[in-house]
Chains A and B, each alone.
Chain A
Amino acid sequence: MSSSDEDYVADSDDDAGANQPSAKHGTRSSGPVKASGDAGGRKRAAWEDIQRSWDTIVEGADGSINSAVEGLREAGKRKRLLKDTTPLQRGIIRHLILIIDLSFAMVEKDLRPTRYLLTIRYASEFVTEYFEQNPISQLGIIGMRDGIAVRISDMSGNPTEHIEKLKGLREQQGQGNPSLQNALEMSRAALFHAPSHGTREILIIYGALLSSDPGDIHETIQSLITDRIRVSVVGLAAQVAICAELCKSTNAGDEGNYSVALNEQHFRELVMAITTPPVTRTKKQSQSSLLMMGFPSRTLGSGKTMSFCACHSKLSRGGYLCSRCNSKVCSLPAECPACGLTLILSTHLARSYHHLFPLKNWIEVPWSVAWSENSKACFSCLSKFPEIPKDVGADGEPRRKPGEHKGTSESSRYACEVCGNHFCIDCDVFAHEVAHNCPGCQGDTRAGEKDGIVRDGARGDGDVVMVG
C-alpha cells in the first residue's frame, strides 16, 4: 500500500499549487464515512476503514505540502531499512522448488495484465534475485495444470536456464484444475537428493481456491514433515484452509509463510521476501558439516595451445585449473572430475557474507546532537545537511513538528553508532541495502585504536559478530 500512496503524493506534488485552494478531496472522502455514521454504532468493516494518503498530509506554514511530501518520501525509504538486524542462523545453501499455478484460475485479470503473465514475470525476477542472494543454491520449477504436475525446469544452479523455460511458458495459457498433492509429491521427489547440510524448501504461487487431488493430501503433508521440507505459499485470490495448514505444519507451527497478495506490488514483495535465506529453527533441520572446497584461478590461455577440459572433454583455451590436481574445468561451480574436490568461485561465497555480518541500523540524530557535533555535510557523499536552526542550543529539546513522521530524523542526519559519523538518508539506504559497509567505520580505524578497542578488519566495521 505504502508505495501507491507515495505515487499519489508524488503526483500531487506537481499540481499542488493548482489544487490547493479548492481542497476537493473532502467531498470525495465523505461518501463511505457518512454512510457508516448514519448506521449509528455499527462496527465498520475492514474495507470501509480506508486510509487515504491525502488525509494525513498537513499543509506547511506557506500553504505548500512540500515538506510533508519530503517527510513521506524519507519515511518510505527509512521503512525499507529498519529491518531486524539480529543475527540469526540461516540456511545459506538452499534447495528450493518453485511451484507455479498454471490452472484455469490464472486467467483472471484481477492482477494486471493477467495473473498468469504477472506470475511468470515475477517468477523470472524471483529466479534472478534468488541466485543473487543465494549463489550456491539450487532451484527447480514445477507447474500445476490439468490436474497434474508439469516439470518446467530441473534442479540446477543456472538462472538463465530457468528464465528461458519460464519465457517459453508465456506462449501458453492457464487451463485445467491445479493439484497441490501431485505438485508436492513431485517436488518431494526432486528434493530427495538434496544433501543434509542444505535446506529443502517449496514456494507455491497459488491462484486457485481448490485443489483436485488423487489421494489424501494430509499424508503428503506428513511425508513433507518427515523429509523436513518447508513450504511457503503466496495466494492470489483468498485464503485457503489447506494451504494454511500446509504452511503451518511444515514450518513448525509458524503461520507466517502463508500470505495472500493484496495487489501487484504486495505480490512482488511477498515473492521477493522468500529470496532471503530462511532461519534455521532446530538442529534437526540441518546437519552442519565442514566442506572442503577449492578456489581455482581462471586462466584465459590465450597464446597457448588448446586443451581438453576434464568435465566435458571439449577443446578450449581458457578454463579453471583445480587447485589440488590442476585438471581443467570449463565452468564453476563444479566438482573436480579427477580428484572430487568441490570447486567454487570465492566470489560466489563472498556474496552471502553480508548476511553473516549485517550492518547495524543507524540512529536518528536530534537537533541537539547535530548542534553539539556541528555536522554540516554527509560524511560519505559530502552533500550538505539542512542548516541547524539558530534557536537550538546544547539543551535544545527535540521539536517535532506536527505531521512529522516517525522513524525519520528531524535533522535529516543519521548516525552510525560505532563510528559516530553523520550520514544523509540516501547514504543510509545505500549502505544498508547495497554496500553493506559503513563508510565511516571502514574509512577511519584510528578512532577505535585511540579508545583502545582492538578491531580486526571484518569485525571492526560496525558489523555484528554472529553468535550462533
Chain B
Amino acid sequence: MDRVDGTDHYEGDKQGPGPSLLVIVLDTNPHAWALLNPTLPLSKAISNLLVFINAHLASHNANQVAVVASHCHRSVWLYPRPEPPSEDVEMKDNAPALNDANKYRPFALIEDSLLTSLRELISTTTENDISTTNTTQMAGSLTLALTYINKATLLFSDSNVTSEPMSTTLEGPENTTGLQSRILVISVSGDLAHQYIPIMNTTFAAQRMRVPIDILKLAGDTVFLQQASDTTKGIYMQLRNPQGLLQYLMMAFLPDQTSRKNLVAPTQEVVDFRAACFCHRKVVDVGFVCSICLSIFCSPSEGAICLTCSTHLALGDYGSKPAVVPRKKKKKRKLNGGVGTPSSRGGTPMPNE
C-alpha cells in the first residue's frame, strides 16, 4: 500500500508547475529613503516586503527567495547571508525568535537573517560613504542576482533532470518544468547613467537566460531600468502612492511567469529608449555614434577623434539643420535658372512642352 501511495504522490508532484526563484534587489540608497521617509519609511517597506516574501514562499513548497541590497557603494547579500570570514561562529541570541511556536520556521529564518544583515549593513555604512555619492550599485546587485540564478538553475537541473547537460546560457526552448527565476528590483534612486554599460550587459544576460526583471519604482526615474524591464519582458510600475506598497507587490508581482501568461500585467505606456553618452554620462536622445566602436557621444569631439577607440573619424555633413539646407539650394537653383535663361524658356512653367 505504501509503495502505491508513494508513486502516486510522486507523479502528482511532477505534473504541477515548477518552483520559482525570486531574487529581490532592494535599493537601500540612504539619500532616497531619507526623502521618502514621510510617506514610506524603510522599516515599513521592509515589513511589507517580508509579507510578500512569505506569500511567495507559501505559494509553492519548493519556491526559493534571495535578497540583495544595492547600497550606496556596494551590493550586499541580505539573504542568504554570506559566511562570515572568521572561524568563530557567533552563537548569539537568535534562538528566541526562531523558536517562536506561532511562526512558520522558514519565514522566521528569512526574517531574522534579512533584518540582521540589513542592520549590519546600515551600521557599517560610514558618513564618508554617504556623502561621496547619491546613487546606488544597481549594476553590481543585478550581476549578483544573475549569478545566483545561474547557479541555482544549474543545481536544480542537476538534481532533478539527470539527462540534458544544461543549456541555460544558450538560447534554448522555453522550459516550463524547470526552475523559473525572476528578479524584482525595488528602486528608489534616480539616474544611473554612470553605470550604463554594466546595466545594459546585465539586461542582455537576463534576456538570454529568459529571466524577467520586474521594476517597482517608489521614487525617481531611471531610463535604463525601464529598458531593462522592457527588454526582458518584465513588469514596470511607478507607484503614485508608495504607502500601498504591499498591495502593489501582492497584486502585480506575486504571479510567476507561468501564471502571467493568463493575466494582464501592468505595462509602461512609454518606454524611454534614450542612451547615455560615453563622454559626459548625459542621457541623450540624439547622439553621435562612432562607426568603429559604436560609442555614443553627445557632441562631436574635438579634432573628431573617438574618445573610446581613438580613431580619427570623418565627420559626416552633419550641419545643424540638415533637412533645411538642400531646400534652400534648390530654390536658389530655380531662381538662377529662371534668371540665367530667360530667353529660351520664357514664362512657360510646364515641363513637358
Contact = CB atoms under 8 A, between A and B. Distances in A.
A466 B309 contact: yes
A181 to B, nearest CB: 32
Contacts of B190: none
B289 A290 contact: yes
B34 interface: no
Interface in B286-300: 286-297, 300
Interface in B190-223: 194-198, 200-205, 208-209
B150 A377 contact: no
Contacts of A424: 151
Contact of A442 (B198, B274, B313): B198
B311 A89 contact: yes
B273 A295 contact: yes
A431 B201 CA distance: 10
Contacts of A436: 201, 205
Contacts of B272: 297
Interface string B27-62: 000000000000000000000000000000000000
Interface string A265-290: 00000000000000010000011111
A297 B273 contact: yes
A446 B73 contact: yes
B241 interface: no
A445 interface: yes
A434 B208 contact: yes
Contacts of A347: 200, 203, 227, 231, 273
Given A296-B285, A439-B144, A444 B75 contact: yes
B284 A466 contact: no
B165 interface: yes
A441 B132 CA distance: 18
B78 to A, nearest CB: 12
Interface size on A, as a range, is 35 or more
Contacts of B77: 382
Contact of A290 (B197, B308, B314): B314
Interface stretch (A18-26, A138-146, A338-346): A338-346
Given A376-B83, A436-B201, A290 B313 contact: yes
A197 B203 CA distance: 28
Given A442-B139, A444-B73, A338 B323 contact: yes
B323 A443 contact: no
A196 to B, nearest CB: 9
A322 to B, nearest CB: 9
Contacts of A45: none
Contacts of B141: 443
A384 B294 CA distance: 40
B73 A298 contact: no
Contacts of B289: 290-293, 349
Given A289-B316, A437-B139, A458-B196, A383 B311 contact: no
Contacts of B294: 92-93, 136, 349, 352-353, 356
B143 interface: yes
A324 B286 contact: yes
B169 interface: yes
Nearest to A296: B273
B209 A439 contact: no
Interface string B117-134: 000000000000100100
A437 B208 CA distance: 15
A334 interface: no
B171 interface: yes
B94 interface: no
A434 B209 contact: yes
B194 A442 contact: no
Given A293-B289, A458-B198, A442 B75 contact: yes
A302 B143 contact: no
B148 interface: yes
B95 interface: no
Nearest to A379: B82
B190 to A, nearest CB: 15
B197 A350 contact: yes
Contacts of B194: 456-458
A92 B148 CA distance: 31
B137 A299 contact: no
B26 interface: no
Contacts of A364: none
A461 interface: yes
Contact of A380 (B143, B274, B281, B290): B143
Interface in B76-119: 76-77, 80, 82-83, 85
B299 to A, nearest CB: 10
B287 A293 contact: yes
B143 A435 contact: yes
Given A434-B169, A443-B143, A426 B291 contact: no
Contacts of A435: 143, 146-147, 201-202, 205
Contact of B316 (A92, A291, A320): A291
A351 interface: yes
B204 A380 contact: no
B197 A449 contact: no
A392 interface: no
A265 B273 CA distance: 39
Contacts of A300: 267, 269-270
B312 interface: yes
Nearest to A93: B291
A288 B311 contact: yes
B239 interface: no
Nearest to A357: B197
A32 B154 CA distance: 41
27 contacts: A288-B292, A290-B318, A295-B285, A295-B286, A297-B271, A297-B272, A297-B285, A298-B230, A298-B270, A298-B271, A323-B286, A346-B274, A347-B203, A350-B200, A351-B200, A352-B294, A381-B148, A382-B80, A434-B205, A434-B209, A437-B139, A442-B75, A443-B144, A445-B73, A458-B196, A458-B197, A461-B197
Given A286-B291, A443-B144, 6 more contacts: A290-B318, A346-B275, A349-B294, A444-B74, A445-B137, A468-B311
Q: Which 7 pairs across A and B sit closest by C-beta, in order of nearness?
A: A443-B140, A442-B140, A346-B275, A457-B194, A197-B291, A350-B200, A381-B151
